[in-house]
Chain A
C-alpha cells in the first residue's frame, strides 16, 4: 500500500493534443518507475494544468491531477494555478519538471513555503529567466539530471544527482517474430534542431529512411518534404506507440542526428539532454546512431550498441556497414537491450529516484527531530 506521495509538477498537459516530447514522457515514465520500483510504496501525483480541474489515474500508481489555470499565459510553459498549494499540500516531496519556466518558479515558491523537500529537473524548455536571474536553483534540495551532459549545464551549488534512462523496456521490446529489417528510422518531433534535414541530405538514395514524428513547424516540414524528393524517404506523422514499435522492429538502426546549429543558423546549447528514442530503439533490439551532440554519446557504446558520428559524411558508411552485416545488427541490438534493461529501464531509474526521495525525507525528518 502506498505510504509516500510524490508530487510531480509539469506544465504541459498529457493528452493527445499536447506537445509531447521527452520532457513530457520522462516525468510520466519516471513516475511509473518510482511506483513500480518501490512495489507500490510510492504514489505519484502528476500535476499539470488545463481549463478545468480534473483528476484520473494515468498509470498504475500515478494520478494525473489537472489544475485550472489562473489565466492563459502567453507561453504554455508559463502556466500557474491558484489551486497549486492545495494540490501539493499532502506531498512528501515535490519534484518540479521544466526548471526554467514560470510554472517551476511558482511551484518552487509554493513548495518551499510549505516546507516540502524539492527536486527540480530541466527538460530543455526555457520560457522564463526570472528564476535564473536570482539563482532559484539554490532553493532546491536536489537537482536531478538525466545525463552527465545535462548535469554540466546547471549553474548551482546545490547537489546534483544524475539518474539516467527512464525508458519502458517492457513496452518497448523486440518483437517475438521480427519482420525483415529494411530501413533506417528517425523518431522524434520534426523540429530544426533535430537535424532531420541534414540526415535526409546525407542519406544514400537507395536506402529507405522513415521519418516518424509530429510536424510542429509547417515551414520546416515543407522543407523536409522538398529535400526528400528523389530519395527514399517516407513520413509517418501520426504514428502511435504500436506503429513506432513496428518501425523499430523493421529498422537496421534508429538515427538521432540532432545539431547544435541548425540549418537556419539557430544555435541550440542543449539539443538533446538524453535522446529518449535512442533508448526505445535499443530496448527494441535496434542499434542506435547519434551525432556527437548533447548527452547522446553517453548512452551509446561505440560499435557495441550503435554508433556516434561527428560528421554527416559518415552516415552512408555506417548505414551500409549495418545493412551488409545482419549479424552485427542483431548482436548490437541484443547488447543494447541488455544495457537498457540493466541501466536505463524506468524501473531501474525509478528505483534510483526513489532512493533520492527517501534520502530527502530522511534529511527532513532529521531536521525536524
Chain B
C-alpha cells in the first residue's frame, strides 16, 4: 500500500505522544512493506533530512506561549483560522504530494497548526480515501474558536467528512460525540502502544521497604491538567501521616519554577524531586527502577503513551478512573485505578506501603499484556486493516480536479480572512 501520512509535526520536532506515536506507526508500516511518505511542517528548529519525510507544510506555531502572549487579538483570530481552518499553501502542498506520490490512502494524524479542516475538505473533495487517527478531539479543535465550538461548522464536518477514523479509546469517541461529532460506525477503537525492543522483566518491588513513585508529563505546570499537583499533595498527606519511606520523581519541563518552590514550602524536598526533561530511553529506565507510575491525569486524557511505557517495564500505573488508558485494563489485575483526587491517591500509596496491595503480580501481568498485545508490532495489524478498508472504498469515479480543490482552498482562505475582519471590525 502507498500511504501518505499527514501530520502537523513529526519527530524530532514534536510536542508529545501524538507525534511520537505517528513516527512509530510509520516505521511499523514500513517494516510491513508499505511505501509510506510523511507530509509534515517545516520544523521549528533545524533537523536532519529524513528519507520519506517531506517537511513542506507551513506551521502556525500554536504552542509558543511567548508568541501567543505577544499577538494582537485580530492577528490571533487570523492565525487561528490558518492554524485550524484553512491554509491554501498547505492544500497546495498536499495536492502536490498526492499528485507525485499517488497514495492509495491518506493516513491523517494531528492537524492543528496546518489548517487541518481545509486539508480534510480537500481530501473530501478529491474523494481520496483517508483514515484519521485520533488521539485527541482534533475534529472538535478544528471547529472551535477560542474555547467555543462552532456548531454549524461541526455539523457540516460530521455530515460531509466520510472516511475511516481510528480512536485510541472509547472515551475519546464518546467525548467527541458529546461535543457534536458522531463518528458512528466509521470508527475503530485501537489502543496506543509501546515500541522498541522488549526489555527483560524484573523483579522486586518496595526494595528496602521504600515506595518509589514516578510521574511524568511534557509540561510540569500548575495550569496543566496532568495532575502533578495531585501527586505532590498526596505525598504531603503521606508524609504528614508519618510515612516517610517513599520517594516521588517528577519528570517534565518546568515552565516557571512553581513546583520546586511549592515542594520546598511543603517541606517535601527529601521525598519529592523534580527530575527535569529526560530522554524517552532514560525515562524507560527510571520506570524499571520505580514501583508505581502515578497517572492522575485529566478527565479527557484520551489515552497517554507514557502509562503503557511504564507498565511495559513493570512499573504499575495508578491511573485516574476517568482517563482513556484505564478503559483498556482491569483494576487490580493490570493497574490500579483511583478517583482523580489527592486523598484517593494518598490512600493507594499508603495501602501499598502497608502491604494491603501486592504490586508484583499486577506489575508482572501488566508487563506481559502490554508487551504482547499493546506492542506496536501487534497493534499495527489492526491499523493496517483499517487502512486497507479505506483503500477499498476508493471511489471509482474519482473526485474533483486538483486545480478545482486548490481554487476552492484559496477562495475559502480569502473569504474567511475577510469575514473574520469584517466581524471583528464591524
Contact = CB atoms under 8 A, between A and B. Distances in A.
B419 interface: yes
A109 B155 contact: no
Contacts of A89: 159
Interface stretch (A69-77, A243-251, A269-277): A69-77
Given A134-B410, A136-B411, A102 B418 contact: yes
Contacts of B203: none
B160 A130 contact: no
Interface string A78-103: 10101101100100000000000010
Contact of A131 (B152, B155, B411): B411
B152 A138 contact: no
A228 to B, nearest CB: 41
A133 B408 CA distance: 13
A72 B121 contact: no
Contacts of A368: 397
Interface string B145-165: 000000011011001100000
Nearest to A71: B423
B407 A130 contact: no
Contact of B419 (A80, A83, A112): A80
Nearest to A89: B159
In this complex, the interface size class of chain B, counting residues with CB under 8 Å from chain A, is 20 to 34
Interface in A24-41: none
Nearest to B125: A113
Question: How many residues of A sit at the interface, in one of the four size bands?
Answer: 20 to 34
Looking at A135, A139, A367, which has the most chain B CB atoms within 10 Å of its CB?
Answer: A139
A255 to B, nearest CB: 41
B415 A109 contact: yes
A102 B415 contact: yes
Contacts, number: 65
Contacts of B410: 134
A210 B156 CA distance: 53
Given A82-B152, A135-B407, A367-B397, A113 B414 contact: no
B45 interface: no
Interface in B94-123: 121
Given A71-B423, A113-B125, A85 B407 contact: no
Contacts of A133: 414
A130 B415 contact: yes
A151 B423 CA distance: 35
Interface string B163-206: 00000000000000000000000000000000000000000000
B415 A114 contact: no
Contacts of B152: 82-83, 85-86
A145 interface: no
B407 A134 contact: yes
The winner among A80, A112, A367 for most chain B CB atoms within 10 A is A112
A196 B45 CA distance: 68
B255 interface: no
Contact of A113 (B408, B415, B422, B426): B408
B270 interface: no
Nearest to A130: B414
Given A85-B152, A139-B404, A73 B411 contact: no
Given A80-B419, A105-B415, A85 B156 contact: yes
B414 A134 contact: yes
Interface in A308-340: none
Residue from A72, A74, A85, A369 whose CB has the most chain B CB atoms within 10 Å: A85
Nearest to A106: B415
A80 B412 CA distance: 13
B411 A109 contact: yes
A114 B418 CA distance: 22
B75 to A, nearest CB: 20
The 10 closest A-B pairs by CB, nearest first: A82-B152, A134-B410, A71-B423, A85-B156, A130-B414, A105-B415, A109-B411, A367-B397, A109-B412, A368-B397
30 contacts: A70-B419, A70-B423, A71-B423, A71-B426, A78-B422, A80-B419, A82-B152, A86-B155, A102-B418, A102-B419, A105-B415, A106-B415, A109-B408, A112-B408, A113-B124, A113-B125, A113-B160, A114-B160, A130-B411, A133-B414, A134-B407, A134-B414, A135-B407, A136-B407, A138-B404, A139-B404, A139-B407, A139-B411, A367-B397, A369-B397
Given A113-B124, A130-B414, 9 more contacts: A70-B419, A74-B422, A85-B152, A108-B411, A109-B415, A113-B408, A130-B415, A139-B411, A367-B397
